[in-house]
A and B are shown apart, each in its own frame.
Chain A
């Protein structure tokens, strides 16, 4: 009985179970047709292997990576700005627990620190001072000071310097430094 070609091919490729293989081998040995068929199978297989080897030897991989990269670059389309922003927002907001809440803590601390410093260092939160028109200076008791500008001079020994307090028309006194050249 002639062996099925498919089973013969599986026998050749060593894909059969041991029991099946033993049975098929016995069949092949007892059948000249199957022996001939197996020999043909071996010849064809050998022929394909030789062809495969020759083809591989003729294939050149030079510049292969560059060609692939060029194809990828040419296929790539520019991403619209709105899409970029959308992706950024999505990424940012998806990590809000890791980003926003610590940021809020830092901002809160910074705000509190600035508030304290601001209250101490500036008049931002203080009551408005009375306006000054150049002729008067505000004081808590409401009296007009007699001196509204003063100076303290440091000059080289060889330069004679004098200080004056001159009265303005409004009755205030301003500081004048006279340098005798």
Chain B
């Protein structure tokens, strides 16, 4: 400290207040982020059944429209951190293009928008509302062996 200079209590309080506001703003910004998992699954009829990593969806895959397939393989599982109203481009197979955006919270549900398109085709826009850790799925695009299933699951 420079000799002869004193910091008063008011100045100390101001410093603490200033630093607190910066910390609070940082936390506020972080609170607007959510973490999402995008599962890319391929449904086919190669008689291999449901992959072990997808066992939690066995009952879902036994229902229409998935019950016309007997095999479900997890192709990829990618984590994304989404910031409010900042769309993220998804890494998807083939010529499939996808964008996922977090639109905020409604009650206890997360509001998400998933845009999917193949090559240069116009996009299909899916506005999803899901609870924490609850997925919604978009499926049906043709894959090399059957159809693609995309499961989006987010936590705030």
Q: Which residues of B contact A124 (CB under 8 A)?
A: 27-28, 31
Main secondary structure of the interface of B (DSSP, over half): mixed
Residues of A near B129 (CB, < 8 A) are 149-151
Give the Cβ gap from B54 to chain A, nearest Cβ, in Å.
12
Known contacts: A151-B126, A151-B136, A154-B124. The answer to whether A178 contacts B65 by CB under 8 A is yes
Within 8 A of A (CB), among B83-139: 108-109, 116, 118, 121-122, 124-139
Which residue from chain A places its CB closest to the CB of B18 in the assembled complex?
A: A107
Interface-facing stretch out of B7-15, B44-52, B74-82: B7-15
- The listed residue (B63, B108, B130) touching A138 by CB distance below 8 A is B108
Which residues of chain A (143-181) have a CB below 8 Å from chain B?
145, 148-156, 159, 161-162, 164, 166-169, 172, 174-181
Contacts of B57 in A (CB 8 A): 168
User: Which chain A positions have C-beta within 8 A of B116?
Assistant: 179
**Interface range for B:** 35 or more
Q: Once A and B bind, how many residue pairs between them come within 8 Å at the CB atom? A: 173
Whether the Cβ atoms of A155 and B17 lie closer than 8 Å is no
Interface residue tally on A, bucketed by range: 35 or more
Chain A, interface SS category: mixed
- The answer for the CA separation of A167 and B10 in the assembled complex, in Å, is 61
Cα distance A107–B11 when bound, in Å?
12
Per-residue A-contact encoding for B36-79, CB less than 8 Å = 1, 0 else: 00000000000000000000111110011110000000000000
Counting CB contacts under 8 A, is A27 at the interface? no
Task: Give 18 A-B contacts (CB < 8 Å), ordered by A residue.
Answer: A104-B14, A111-B21, A114-B21, A117-B28, A118-B28, A122-B31, A129-B108, A137-B134, A150-B129, A151-B127, A152-B127, A153-B126, A154-B124, A156-B121, A174-B137, A175-B130, A175-B136, A176-B136
